[in-house]
Amino acid sequence: MRTLHLSCWMAFQNGRFVKLSARAAMTAGTAAVIALVLAPTAEANWSSSITAASVSFESRRWSDELYSQILFTGCHTDSGVTKSTDVQMWHDISFQSDDSYDNKTFTACFNGGTSNGEWTDLGSGMKDVYFKIMKIGGSTFGPQLTVNSVSIDTTKADG
């Protein structure tokens, strides 16, 4: 059985190695473990906003459980005349082309309401699901989209 002598730990400080006391070594080790435990993960449900996004904007990734719902509230563009945006769900696959799912056209969020897109044909326990802005105002180029509130929900228990 190996024994670790904490009093022998070294740290690099001010351009040279210095010996750490057992207490300092323990504190540093504990801080490293806490940082690992608190590292961010791909959350299933989250909320955010979008500012001045162009076509092909990709959201952050999340883990999915067969069902995903995307809600946009407070949509507007820099042109002020656009009244729709197309949103498509994707599955990010490393070193391959990503799988795409249905495209939804969101309009209610431009008129004071909330646009709601639901995808129910997603695989169980998928990682790295995201949405992409495919069109803004029916066009694949042009205005930039701002959304005051974006919500992702992967639980259909909401009714």
State pLDDT tens for residues 86-103: 999 999 999 999 999 999
133 with 57: CB under 8 angstroms?
A: yes
Rounded Cα distance, 85 and 140, in Å: 10
Report the percent of the chain where pLDDT is more than 70. 71
Q: What angle do CA 65, 68, 73 make, to 5 degrees?
A: 150
- Give pLDDT, residue 18: 54
- Give pLDDT, residue 21: 60
- Give pLDDT, residue 125: 75
Q: What is the pLDDT of residues 28-68, one digit of tens each?
A: 444 443 433 333 345 579 999 999 999 999 999 998 878 89
Q: What is the pLDDT of residues 5-24, one digit of tens each?
A: 444 445 545 555 556 565 55
Average pLDDT over residues 113-140: 91
Q: With a threshold of 0.75, does the pTM exceed it?
A: no
Rounded Cα distance, 128 and 58, in Å: 12
Name the nearest CA neighbour of 102 among 81, 84, 117: 117
Which of 76-90, 119-133, 145-159 reaches the highest mean pLDDT? 76-90
Report the percent of the chain where pLDDT is more than 90. 57
**Rounded mean pLDDT of the chain?**
80
Average pLDDT over residues 125-145: 93
CA distance readout (Å), 103 to 82, 86, 93, 97, 133? 18, 6, 19, 17, 9
- Give pLDDT, residue 11: 53
Residues 6+ apart with CB under 8 A from 128: 42, 61, 62, 63, 91, 92, 93
